[in-house]
Structure 1
Amino acid sequence: MAYTTYILIGLLPLVYYLLPYIVDAKKLRRFNAPFPAAFSDFWLFWQARKGVRHFAVHDMHKKYGKFVRIQPEHISVADPAAIPIVYGHGTGFLKSDYYDAFVSIQRGLFNTRDRAEHTRKRKTISHVFSTKSVLQFEPYIHHNLELLAKQFNKMSDSPDLSGSYHKLDILHWTNYLAFDIISDLTFGSPFGMLESGKDQAFVKDPATGKVTTAPAIQVLNRRGEVSGTLGCAPWVKQFAKYLPDKFFTEGVKAVEDLAGIAIARVSDRLDHGIGNEREDLLKKLMDGRDEHGKPLGRKETEAEALTMLIAGSDTTSNTLCSLMYWVLRTPGVLESLQKELDEALQGDWSVPNYAAIKDCKYLRAVINETLRIHSTSSLGLPRVVPPKGYTVCGEFFEGGTVLSVPSYTIHHSDEIWGDASAFRPERWFNLTELQKKSFIPFSVGPRACVGQNVAELEMITIVATMFSGWDWKFAEGEKQGLPGAPLDTVEGFLRKPLGLNVGIKRRRA
């Protein structure tokens, strides 16, 4: 009897995974899948844990074609025709339970899955990121760029490479800059990373009120990695801190620390009035009202402030580091970019104003080409097919099926871009309609990135500053400077470079 019981217990996992596959309630068995993705979430979970999800999914599309089953009820669709259906207005697709792994303080604009709640939040918050509001933030960006310029000049005055260049890891400094800017814009003052040259921020424990310090950049990286992995199997989140893998235990701690950073800075404003006179993101967030005239509650304000911190920090730093890599690697790009900037910024150099460089076409092309080829947001954002089902790219999907369109694969399709592996800014001067529709660095539709205007202002001003004021080259011995060598990256929720050693020197005295 006991022997039979053990056999039955041993068969339970087999039945649990095989029965849904055999029954095939959503008729997904017709799609190819890497083993064991058709039976279990483990395949995608493991790719995310390794930090290579977008590469793995891309390889499967090269092997199997347009449709790939990457989880038992999740189909990746590598076709730009799917973009307006899966992410567009009026189709009824909702965010999947993947986003549950990103909830910490409470649900915010990014991770709320309820359509009515998202509409309320977006109406309350959208005014914060209007073009008029965003232009008011330029002085804060300008101030932090001046701090960066002082650091760059200081390093340039102490050359340690041939040709009078100074060696630095540009990722460190793009991180310091991006985090200080978003802290300044959101919370009323920068973290102080640019001045100290250190990764440090204050953290407040919501339970005890105790304030400590934590490395914000490191915390954000870990949070993205663990949340991006747990999103592939959200039920694991409640057990994550007990798992023997420190990837999860440290990641859960990072989620708490990151929330603590936002709580500490919002507390400075709400409880102590620090920075109340400033017209910044937090001020506009606090002034926002929904259609009933109600402001955001405290927890909701903290959650949205946290979202702004996350969305506006390593997205920018990752892109800047990658842009540096591709500009230096690709013959002629640095010279063309600097020539255009010199013509726009005639006279003595200083941190440029947005008005002076906003019409620089090659500058914008370099940024867009970086957003395409690096694809900071590389994974396919998962959406749930509405109850009545939907036909996508000729295939009907039952309600409840999860679909996603992989950004990395779309941005690296030779059918769309011709020479997708080449960094060629000139392509942006004559885009086809298909290419325009296939460029999705900020997603599209009602759940597209609400902070796109801020990102554009930041990127244009930062890139213009960095390349008009200094000359750059790959540091001697930097393997990533060799022809054909890739930029080493790891993927959490975003695709992040692991570092890039370059040389810097002043272009002007």
Structure 2
Amino acid sequence: MTEILGASVTAAVLGVAAHVLYFSRGEHHLYGLRYVEVFFLSFLATTALVRRSLGGETQIDSAPGWSQSALISAGLHLYFLGGLYASCVTYRVLLSPLRRFPGPLDLRISSLSLVFRVRNSDAHKKVQDLHARYGPFVRIGPSALSIIDPAAIGAVHSGDSGFSKGDFYDLLHPAKSLQMMRNKKDHAARRRVWSAAFSDRALRGYEKRAVTYQNKLLARLAESVDSGKPTNVTRWIYAFSFDLTSDLALGKPFGSLDTDKKHWVIDVMDAGTVVLGLMLPTWVFRLLSDIPGLNGDFFKWFNFARDSMMTRAKTKPETPDMASALLSVFEGRDPTAEELALLTGDSQLIIGAGSDTSSSTMTVLLYLLAKHPQELAKLRVELAPLIVQTAPSSAISFSSEKLASAAQLNGIINETLRLYPVVPTATYRRAPPQGVSIAGTFVPGGTDVWTPQYAIGRSEEIYQDPNSFRPERWSEHPELVKDSRAFAPFLIGPFNCIGKPLALQTIRSTIAKIVCTFDISLPPGDDGRAFEAGIKDRWILGVPSLLLKLTKHPE
């Protein structure tokens, strides 16, 4: 008994040492499965050693002896874990450099607590509530802060901030894309390749491609008008966005607008965003993804994108797509395996980030216009003189340059992004080792920092009447914006959204064509509350089905 007690104390001390000397230093999120394997092997080895100490060498087949040994081994490993987690909790609550920041006790102790809090994919609202209670700086994890002070945008995201991307961007490791690159030099080099895909000339080419899918979208919406039933706008906006981005990325659309069927890739991506909405710690996500059978859909999507990119590389489209810019660096040679993996990741990024983000914004924007008909009327007045009639006579188009300077249209887009930002909460940036001062508050080095745009966009300290839809705050009434530094729906700095010009161009022209073709309103008896309640934070904004009453707008 004395020997077991001594071994238990030793195991607990080893657990404390493991935390102090190893787990409290560096990053460990990529090694979860390895740690589980080592722990299991340690259990087996300890069981054998305990069995031997009990005289097991002469009783090899004694089942009771093995069960007793396994129980003792399990107990020793529990003592080890007890020591490790006791040290971990003590440090996080009493010794961490973040101990002076306010926040709930459970979030100080474990990031898994956040998973429970946001289990309904409502992190945007839960974090907003935390800031309402604790102030502009809130500790939301053992080593994480959420900051809504406007100064944080520049301090965290500008080019000279010293902040880097957090371990969240290793979710798909070793798969890569521009978005998931954490190394600043690698990211800058890859971004230079991408920049050609967003030149003025390239954007004009994408605009021509978009017309095809916009016309198909309008035709689908017109069909629902003829039926006399409310239209599921979400369904058709998403079909449009995925068809356009898959064409730009892979040279071939998913065909959802033509077939009225959701492509299986969209289902895979939808399932992925649901998981992201749980805000799992990176090590948990990585551990689950390393378990055989749980990542089959991702690899199916990866292989599809890779094969599609290889096919696209062998063709040359009449109108350049985004793949044209990404493939141009190879100058006729075949990409290496590593380069092909990066191309594949980038094509997935174009489809995922480009379609989900634009479609959610356009859907919410149409909802807000239906709810505020006076703003819709102002928009139509602004757009009417900008319409360019094309053949056939029923088709309309706009100059992208003129739409870019349309005050009401852009005010509506900005106001939509303020109220319902594409990435509502988690921006995952890590403070430099030396730490940094933000709005007079020192943030220790290595701290993971969020600048939650949803909570920022609804702060009374930053916006007057923050919960109201008032597009005029971006034009004739700038006094409604108390601090313009806070508005960064596409972020700023070297890690900002490189696709911002394309996203805005697509949103402007698509919305302009819809509102000049149809009258839109909420169905009778629908006040919009159900739609607003169904909006989710799945790292990116997730929107439910939006039913609108559409009628043909008089010429």
For the superposition of Structure 1 and Structure 2, which TM-score range results when normalised by the shorter chain?
0.7 to 0.9
The equivalent residue for 2:232 is 169
Identify the match of residue 155 of structure 1 among 208, 217, 224.
Answer: 224
Take 2:300 and 2:123, find their aligned partners in 1: how far apart are those partners? 25
Distance change in 2, residues 1:253/1:320 (3 Å): farther
Take 1:469 and 1:182, find their aligned partners in 2: how far apart are those partners? 23
Cα shift at 1:14: 4.4
The reply on whether 1:225 has 2:274 as its aligned counterpart is: yes
Instruction: Assess if the C-alpha contact under 8 Å between 1:188 and 1:275 holds in 2.
Output: no
The equivalent residue for 2:88 is 17
The equivalent residue for 1:284 is 325
Take 1:266 and 1:362, find their aligned partners in 2: how far apart are those partners? 39
The equivalent residue for 2:156 is 86
What is the root-mean-square deviation in Å for CA atoms of aligned residues?
Answer: 2.6
Instruction: Assess if the C-alpha contact under 8 Å between 1:349 and 1:508 holds in 2.
Output: no
The reply on whether 1:265 has 2:308 as its aligned counterpart is: yes
User: Cα deviations across residues 169-227 of structure 1 (Å, max 9, x unaligned)?
Assistant: 11101100110111122221221111111111xxxxxxxxxxxxx2x322212212324
The reply on whether 1:60 has 2:130 as its aligned counterpart is: yes
Distance change in 2, residues 1:105/1:386 (3 Å): closer
Secondary structure class of the residue paired with 2:396: coil
Deviation larger for 149-158 or 464-473: 149-158
Structure 2: which amino acid aligns with 1:127? A
Alignment of 1:278-357 (within 5 A): 278-288=319-329, 297-345=339-387, 349-355=394-400, 357=403
Cα shift at 1:16: 4.4
Take 1:491 and 1:321, find their aligned partners in 2: how far apart are those partners? 15
Alignment of 1:83-482 (within 5 A): 83-101=153-171, 103=172, 106-159=175-228, 166-200=229-263, 214=264, 216-229=265-278, 232-240=280-288, 252-270=295-313, 273-288=314-329, 297-345=339-387, 349-355=394-400, 357-429=403-475, 430-431=477-478, 435-480=483-528
Take 1:74 and 1:419, find their aligned partners in 2: how far apart are those partners? 30
Distance change in 2, residues 1:487/1:229 (3 Å): closer
Question: Greater helix share, 1 or 2?
Answer: 2
Distance change in 2, residues 1:75/1:506 (3 Å): same
Give the length in aligned residue pairs.
Answer: 474
The equivalent residue for 2:109 is 39
Take 1:54 and 1:72, find their aligned partners in 2: how far apart are those partners? 19
Take 1:387 and 1:14, find their aligned partners in 2: how far apart are those partners? 25
Take 1:467 and 1:364, find their aligned partners in 2: how far apart are those partners? 14
Deviation larger for 120-129 or 469-478: 469-478
Cα shift at 1:118: 0.9
Q: Which has the higher contact order (CA 8 A, sep 6+)?
A: 1
The equivalent residue for 1:209 is none
Structure 2: which amino acid aligns with 1:8? Y
Secondary structure class of the residue paired with 1:417: coil
Give unpaired runs (5+ residues) of structure 2.
9-74
TM-score, normalised relative to structure 1: 0.86
Instruction: Assess if the C-alpha contact under 8 Å between 2:386 and 2:399 holds in 1.
Output: no
The equivalent residue for 1:507 is 553
User: Cα deviations across residues 21-41 of structure 1 (Å, max 9, x unaligned)?
Assistant: 25524x111111223111111
Structure 2: which amino acid aligns with 1:318? S
Secondary structure class of the residue paired with 2:227: coil
Cα shift at 1:460: 0.5
Secondary structure class of the residue paired with 2:536: strand
Instruction: Assess if the C-alpha contact under 8 Å between 2:98 and 2:444 holds in 1.
Output: no
Instruction: Assess if the C-alpha contact under 8 Å between 1:224 and 1:493 holds in 2.
Output: yes
Cα shift at 1:421: 0.3
Secondary structure class of the residue paired with 1:313: helix
Distance change in 2, residues 1:298/1:346 (3 Å): closer
Q: Percent identity?
A: 26
Higher CA-based Rg:
2
Deviation larger for 395-404 or 115-124: 395-404
Cα shift at 1:97: 0.4
Structure 1: which amino acid aligns with 2:397? P
Distance change in 2, residues 1:359/1:393 (3 Å): closer
TM-score, normalised relative to structure 2: 0.79
